[in-house]
């Protein structure tokens, strides 16, 4: 992995982001659903993200030990998939993956009738799965405030279970749009599922092989909103994005309207340009936690005081993202402090003339969230190769809009 990349200061940008990646979230769900179909249909525009490549490789593998690397959705989705298939597999991953809890999903699968054991630390991967699967019940409950990936993993395998599934969500529900996305895709492939209040009912049945084209990724688009927000002049064209997307991160349009970005639909494109911004910002990120880093950097760089809530799930991502943000925002002279679940960002009156190199903590979103700082200062990003997880061509696209990026 390249030790660092230097993005030289450039205040004006323009161009078409021709390699905006396909949605990783949609791609990984479609791959699981397709694997549960008896027949196969063409899936177009699958994500090139490493997480999706890992998902494809492991679904096709006959090996008893499967390495999900650092791919959280892959680990969680495949745990449910193989457990309810009656497979015998050992699912493992990177050292960081072994620190990311999975006990809520394992407990739920055990209640349903799956046989799973931990081979190292209790409650964390690696997970040993042994068949057969004999469904004990069609009704279980799971906390809704930790990770929607657990919920999506259970929902996607539910139609293939003899009794179907009624899933009760306990307490606050995080990342609700991701659950909506899962249910929408399930219905597209023929599943019957309803969601009323805190109960999701999935009928037993079979998925129907259906041709599908994966849409561009709104989370990735968010970084280009950030470049535009920090630019003096910009015209950035994002092809193929739909305001009717099943992705919850399309809410970035509303956020960045407040933070200084005009998003204008032109045919099949979305064209971004700078505008006036507010001096204060407040947002609940419960439904869109993947946007928090991007927005935090924009606020700190533009001197906007901000209050964030709904960041609980960031602690169990690729890194503890709230702690990582505290450390790296401090290099911009910004404070990021929690008080009873509310994170207060206080920006410096002026950015430092030189910004210390930005650590990425092996987290793709840290690299891409801090990259737009080059609109204001030259910035050095450590371990830039982490972007392969979700947006492999990110640095190519950065160069395509006229930014000088030098790998070291």
Domain boundaries, the chain: 4-21+216-407, 24-213
The β-bridge partners of 121 are none
What's the predicted TM-score (pTM) here?
0.89
The β-bridge partners of 6 are 380, 406
Strand locations in 3-119 (E): 4-7, 12-16, 43-44, 65-67, 89-92, 115-118
pLDDT digits (tens, 9 = 90+) for 34-54: 999 989 899 999 999 999 999
Per-residue pLDDT at 191: 97
Q: What whole-number distance in Å separates Cα of residue 299 and Cα of residue 235? A: 20
Mean pLDDT of the region 165-182? 92
Q: What is the mean pLDDT of the chain?
A: 95
Q: What whole-number distance in Å separates Cα of residue 189 and Cα of residue 186? A: 5
CATH number of 4-21+216-407: 3.65.10.10
User: Is 290 a known active-site residue?
Assistant: yes
Mean pLDDT of the region 113-124? 97
pLDDT digits (tens, 9 = 90+) for 198-224: 999 999 999 999 999 999 999 999 999
Q: What whole-number distance in Å separates Cα of residue 390 and Cα of residue 221? A: 12
Per-residue pLDDT at 408: 85
- Whether the pLDDT of residue 244 is over 90: the answer is no
Per annotation, catalytic residue among 67, 70, 249, 290: 290
Domain 24-213 has CATH 3.40.190.10: no
pLDDT digits (tens, 9 = 90+) for 152-169: 999 999 999 999 999 999
Q: How sure is the predictor about 316, in pLDDT bands with cuts at 50, 70 and 90?
A: low
Q: Do domains 4-21+216-407 and 24-213 have the same CATH topology?
A: yes
Q: What whole-number distance in Å separates Cα of residue 176 and Cα of residue 310? A: 12
Per-residue pLDDT at 131: 85
């Amino acid at each position: 992995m390249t030790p660092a990349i230097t993005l030289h200061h450039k205040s004006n940008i323009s161009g078409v982001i021709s390699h905006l990646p396909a949605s990783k979230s949609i791609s990984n769900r479609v791959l699981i659903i397709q694997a549960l179909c008896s027949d196969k249909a063409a899936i177009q525009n699958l994500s090139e993200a490493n997480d999706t490549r890992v998902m494809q490789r492991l679904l096709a593998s006959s090996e008893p030990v499967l390495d999900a690397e650092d791919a959280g959705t892959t680990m969680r989705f495949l745990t449910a998939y193989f457990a309810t298939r009656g497979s015998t597999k050992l699912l493992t991953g990177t050292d960081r993956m072994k620190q990311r809890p999975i006990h809520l999903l394992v407990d739920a699968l055990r209640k349903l009738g799956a046989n799973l054991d931990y081979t190292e630390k209790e409650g964390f991967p690696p997970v040993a799965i042994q068949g057969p699967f004999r469904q004990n019940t069609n009704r279980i409950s799971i906390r809704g405030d930790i990770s929607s990936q657990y919920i999506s993993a259970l929902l996607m395998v539910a139609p293939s279970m003899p009794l179907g599934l009624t899933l009760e969500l306990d307490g606050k529900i995080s990342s609700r749009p991701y659950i909506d996305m899962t249910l929408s895709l399930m219905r597209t492939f023929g599943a019957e599922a309803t969601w009323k209040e805190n109960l999701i009912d999935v009928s037993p049945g079979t998925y129907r092989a259906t041709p599908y084209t994966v849409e561009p990724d709104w989370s990735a688009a968010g970084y280009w909103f950030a470049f535009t927000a920090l630019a003096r002049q910009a015209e950035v064209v994002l092809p193929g994005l739909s305001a009717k997307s099943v992705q919850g991160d399309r809410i970035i349009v509303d956020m960045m309207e407040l933070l200084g970005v005009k998003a204008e639909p032109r045919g099949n494109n979305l064209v971004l340009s700078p505008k006036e911004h507010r001096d204060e910002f407040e947002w609940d990120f419960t439904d869109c936690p993947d946007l928090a880093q991007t927005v935090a950097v924009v606020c700190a760089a533009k001197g906007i005081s901000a209050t964030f809530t709904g960041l609980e799930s960031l602690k169990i991502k690729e890194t503890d993202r709230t702690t990582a943000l505290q450390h790296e925002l401090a290099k911009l002279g910004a404070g990021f402090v929690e008080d009873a679940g509310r994170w207060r960002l206080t920006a410096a009156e002026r950015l430092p003339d030189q910004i210390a190199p930005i650590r990425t903590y092996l987290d793709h979103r840290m690299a891409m969230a801090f990259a737009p700082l080059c609109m204001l200062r030259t910035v050095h990003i450590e371990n830039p190769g982490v972007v392969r997880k979700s947006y492999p061509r990110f640095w190519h696209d950065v160069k395509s809009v006229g930014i000088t990026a030098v790998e070291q």
